[in-house]
Amino acid sequence: MLWGKTARYAIAFFLIISLNFAIPRAMPGDTLTNLMGEDVHLSEDAMLELKAKVGVDQPIHIQFLNYWRDLFHLDLGYSYHLHAPVSSLIRERIKWTMLLVAPSIIMGAFVGTLLGALAGWRRKEAKSRLQTTGFLLIYCTPPYFLSMLALYFLGFELGWFPLKGFYQSGTIGDIAHHLFLPVLIMTLFSASRNYMIMRGSVIQERQMLYASYARAKGLSSDQILFRHIFKNAALPIITLVALDFGFIFSGALFIEIVFSMHGMGNLIYDSLLCRDYPVLQGTFAVITIMVILANLLADWTYGLVDPRVRWQR
Amino acid sequence: MAEVIRALRSAEEKIRARWSLLGPLIFSSFILAALLADLISPYDPWKRFNPYQMPGWEHLLGTNDMGHDILSELIFGSRVSLAVGFSAAILSATLGTAVGLFAGYFRGMADEVLMGITDIFLMIPQIPLIIVLAAFLRPSFWLMALLMGLLWWTALARIVRSRTLQVREMGFVAGAKAIGFSDNHVIFSDVLPNTLYVIAPKFMLTVASAMIAEASISFLGLSDPSMKSWGTMISYAFSRGGFINGMWWWYLPPGLCITVFVLSLVMMAGILEERDIEPVKVD
């Protein structure tokens, strides 16, 4: 079961990364330009030399094998625009993005499932209705627009938070001050998605017979929710958080742009402006790898938490 | 006392019924505004006035850096935003329904292969892929809709499949098969109508996420500059200084339009979804 899934992830990895190989070669325009980026201007000789170096004059299957060999050597190509290897560019930026994404996903999962479960359990109460409306509004707003609103009101008008970047002086307190608003928005954004799922899932679970049985047994309302229903309703969340990872991560890229943070999102934004294709492709490959790893991790965790899956192995 | 409680109950039900009308009401007024854009829009969205005007009687929502009237941009922009959302959702709903129906109905090899493909598509980071492809191609809203449609059918395929697995075991399907109807006939006239109610809410959610994605991708400047959508409006407000200079009338309306319209879709989807889990009650 678990190995079958892992095999599927391997196939997905192979196909998506191969797609990444195919894109610049299949797209209209000169392949060399597609591989190097739009604003690279070179002499005729340098062009030929580069052609040999990039390997476009070789047969396609050799290029394909070289592409995979490079990938396993963590070589994602060279940005002629920024004059640096793509992998080191990404490595420099990704830690900042992870600083934004990792706490947000974890907090978003906890806040979303907990509040969502309570809201589904007591959905008739005014408080949980109000809360649901709030999360619904966040759910329906593009995350970058939410960031613009927060930045304008809390940063600009009230001056509570710095307007841009990850740090100024570089102390931990300073970084935390810069990170607070983007992390808050990211957390709300990811919590809103988990909240909706969890609320719906608890509303469904509460109709199950075991819930009635627990009530007949004399458990209090909270006991039923946290001892019985929560576990059953929360399990699928592990998988869903992982499936959502790509989406949340993309959301972070946009939030970074609004807050002018020096992470992957701005790397993509900048390389879009000058059509720096190697960087775009490198980031796509890295994001793909992270999405697949997140799902693999979720499946393994699921196996640890849910005995039914554990025994199927 | 019982009278009072009954009266209160029916009052509450009435309020709930009114609330549930809110979604369709917002939805249809936006659709109407998009259809009647030529009639209700005060100006041509490309006509130039004095730039950077605050909202006032001349221009209800002010003007932007090019001097375009923002209310008119908003009304005409709804056409592009809605068209992208709906065409992406129609394409993905068609694909997802087809995959789900065939996988669930035929099971076996077909199911394995189709669900395997679905699992692979689920792993694709969709927005980054659209960004990469759009960077290589000439920016166009139709391309954006096409890519979203081709990438977003997976969730629906899974839902339709599991519903199909239930429906195919029901009496009337066995009956139709026993009479000798072809598989195609059974799928389209017996199974499909019974999956429509799981498709409808998911369809609306797909329109919603396609519109949010359109706004995000346009935000990166990857949209056709000769057309205006809500997303491009926010994008220009951000990249041409409207945001930094606090011109809220420039970026706030398109953002709020996206939120409110998406909200109406989600509300309608919620009402459709809740209909089939409502009846049983524990407490």
CB atoms B129 and A141 under 8 Å: no
What would the mean pLDDT of A78-92 be, rounded to a whole number?
86
Question: Is A298 within a domain?
Answer: no
How distant is the Cα of A84 from the closest Cα of chain B, in angstroms?
A: 20
Percent of chain B whose pLDDT exceeds 90: 30
Say if residue A179's pLDDT is above 90: no
Residue A100 contacts B, CB cutoff 8 Å: no
CB count in 10 Å sphere of residue A35: 22
Question: Which chain B residues have a beta carbon less than 8 Å from that of A140?
Answer: 208, 212, 259, 262-263, 266
Say if residue B271's pLDDT is above 90: no
Nearest alpha-carbon partner for B247 in B70, B78, B76: B70
Nearest alpha-carbon partner for B224 in B110, B92, B83: B83
Using CA atoms in the order A193, A199, A204, A205, what is the torsion angle rounded to 10 degrees?
110
Residue A170 contacts B, CB cutoff 8 Å: no
Residue A6 contacts B, CB cutoff 8 Å: no
Here the contacts of B103-110 (C-beta below 8 Å, separation 24 or greater) are B103/B157, B103/B161, B103/B164, B104/B160, B104/B161, B104/B162, B104/B163, B104/B164, B104/B165, B104/B168, B104/B191, B105/B164, B105/B168, B105/B183, B105/B186, B105/B187, B105/B191, B106/B183, B107/B165
A34 and A109 part of one domain: no
Q: How many domains does chain A have?
A: 2
A71 and A123 part of one domain: no
Inter-residue contact A277 to A34 (CB < 8 Å): yes
CB atoms A142 and B122 under 8 Å: no
What would the mean pLDDT of B213-233 be, rounded to a whole number?
87
Average pLDDT, chain A: 84
What are the sequence ranges of the domains in chain B? 2-274
The domain of A45 spans 2-75
Distance, in Å, from the CA atom of B258 to the CA atom of B210, rounded to the nearest integer, reads 11
Which tokens belong to A177?
């001050």
A197 and A103 part of one domain: yes
Distance, in Å, from the CA atom of A229 to the CA atom of A225, rounded to the nearest integer, reads 5
Say if residue B280's pLDDT is above 60: no
Decide: helix, strand or coil at residue A79. Answer: strand
How distant is the Cα of A115 from the closest Cα of chain B, in angstroms?
A: 18
Say if residue B1's pLDDT is above 70: no
Residue B4 falls in which region: left (phi positive, over 0), alpha (psi -120 to 50) or beta: alpha
How distant is the Cα of A284 from the closest Cα of chain B, in angstroms?
A: 6
Say if residue B178's pLDDT is above 80: yes
Question: Which chain A residues have a beta carbon less than 8 Å from that of B85?
Answer: none
Nearest alpha-carbon partner for B92 in B160, B187, B188, B26: B160
A38 and A140 part of one domain: no
DSSP one-letter code for B272: H
Say if residue B98's pLDDT is above 90: yes
Q: Which helix (H) or strand (E) holds A201?
A: helix A172-205
Which residues in chain A (256-285) have CB-CB distances under 8 A to chain B? 257-258, 268-269, 272-273, 275, 277, 280-281, 283-284
Residue B131 contacts A, CB cutoff 8 Å: yes
Question: Is A307 within a domain?
Answer: no
Question: Is A16 within a domain?
Answer: yes
A250 and A184 part of one domain: yes
Q: What are the CA-CA distances from residue B191 to residues A257, B59, B183 (Å)?
A: 46, 53, 10
Report the CATH fold assignment for B2-274.
MetI-like fold (1.10.3720)
Inter-residue contact A47 to A35 (CB < 8 Å): no
A61 and A109 part of one domain: no
What would the mean pLDDT of A21-30 be, rounded to a whole number?
82
Query: How far, rounded to the nearest angstrom, does the alpha carbon of residue A139 sit from its chain's CA centroid?
Result: 16
Question: Which chain A residues have a beta carbon less than 8 Å from that of B273?
Answer: 200
pTM: 0.87
Closest Cβ–Cβ partner in A20, A142, A275 for B212? A142
pLDDT at B82: 92
How distant is the Cα of B180 from the closest Cα of chain A, in angstroms?
A: 38
How distant is the Cα of B182 from the closest Cα of chain A, in angstroms?
A: 33
* pLDDT level of residue B279 (50, 70, 90 thresholds): very low
End-to-end CA distance of chain A: 6
Residue B150 contacts A, CB cutoff 8 Å: no
Nearest alpha-carbon partner for B263 in A248, A184, A135, A144: A135
Percent of chain A whose pLDDT exceeds 70: 94
Identify the residue with better confidence: A10 or B242: A10
Count, residues in chain A? 313
A118 and A46 part of one domain: no
pLDDT digits (tens, 9 = 90+) for A196-249: 888 888 888 888 888 778 878 878 888 888 877 887 777 778 888 888 888 888
Identify the residue with better confidence: B41 or B77: B77
Inter-residue contact A122 to A128 (CB < 8 Å): yes
| Angle subtended at Cα A13 by Cα A9 and Cα A17, rounded to the nearest 5 degrees | 170
Which of the residue ranges A50-59, A213-222, B186-195 has the most confident prediction, judged by mean pLDDT? B186-195
Strands A78-79 and A84-85: antiparallel
pLDDT at A285: 92
Residue A300 contacts B, CB cutoff 8 Å: no
Question: Is A171 within a domain?
Answer: yes
β partners of residue A84:
A79
Say if residue B278's pLDDT is above 50: no
pLDDT at B277: 45
Best mutation target among A140, A147, A253, A269 (most B Cβ atoms within 10 Å) is A140
pLDDT digits (tens, 9 = 90+) for B13-41: 777 777 788 889 999 999 998 888 888 87
Inter-residue contact B168 to B194 (CB < 8 Å): no
Distance, in Å, from the CA atom of B212 to the CA atom of A141, rounded to the nearest integer, reads 7
Distance, in Å, from the CA atom of B96 to the CA atom of A260, rounded to the nearest integer, reads 38
Nearest alpha-carbon partner for A264 in A246, A241, A280, A243: A280
Which residues in chain A (199-258) have CB-CB distances under 8 A to chain B? 200, 203-204, 206-207, 211-212, 215, 243, 246-247, 249-250, 253-254, 257-258
A201 and A252 part of one domain: yes
Residues whose CB falls within 8 Å of the CB of residue B114, separated by 6 or more in sequence, listed in order:
B99, B102, B103, B157
Using CA atoms in the order B224, B72, B211, A277, what is the torsion angle rounded to 10 degrees?
20
Q: Does the model's ipTM exceed the 0.90 cut?
A: no
Question: Which chain A residues have a beta carbon less than 8 Å from that of B234?
Answer: 145, 148
Question: Can you say whether the dihedral through the CA atoms of B209, B210, B215, B216 is positive or negative?
Answer: positive
CB atoms B216 and A204 under 8 Å: no
Distance, in Å, from the CA atom of B176 to the CA atom of B172, rounded to the nearest integer, reads 6
A101 and A246 part of one domain: yes
Best mutation target among A34, A81, A144 (most B Cβ atoms within 10 Å) is A144
CATH number, residue A171: 1.10.3720.10
Distance, in Å, from the CA atom of A2 to the CA atom of A9, rounded to the nearest integer, reads 11
pLDDT digits (tens, 9 = 90+) for A212-221: 788 788 788 8
Decide: helix, strand or coil at residue B63. Answer: strand
Best mutation target among B8, B115, B123 (most A Cβ atoms within 10 Å) is B123
A136 and A39 part of one domain: no
How distant is the Cα of B283 from the closest Cα of chain A, in angstroms?
A: 9
pLDDT at A310: 59
Q: Residue A65 burial by CB count (10 A; 0-12/13-18/19+): exposed, middle or buried?
A: exposed
β partners of residue A78:
A85
pLDDT at A313: 43
Q: CA nearest B267 in A: which residue?
A: A136
Residue B162 contacts A, CB cutoff 8 Å: no
* pLDDT level of residue A166 (50, 70, 90 thresholds): low
CB atoms A145 and B258 under 8 Å: yes
CB count in 10 Å sphere of residue A175: 17
What would the mean pLDDT of A259-277 be, rounded to a whole number?
87
Closest Cβ–Cβ partner in B125, B219, B220 for A246? B125
Count, residues in chain B? 283
Question: Is A188 within a domain?
Answer: yes
pLDDT at B4: 74
Decide: helix, strand or coil at residue A78. Answer: strand
A244 and A110 part of one domain: yes
Amino acid at A6: T
* pLDDT level of residue B281 (50, 70, 90 thresholds): very low
Residue B282 falls in which region: left (phi positive, over 0), alpha (psi -120 to 50) or beta: alpha
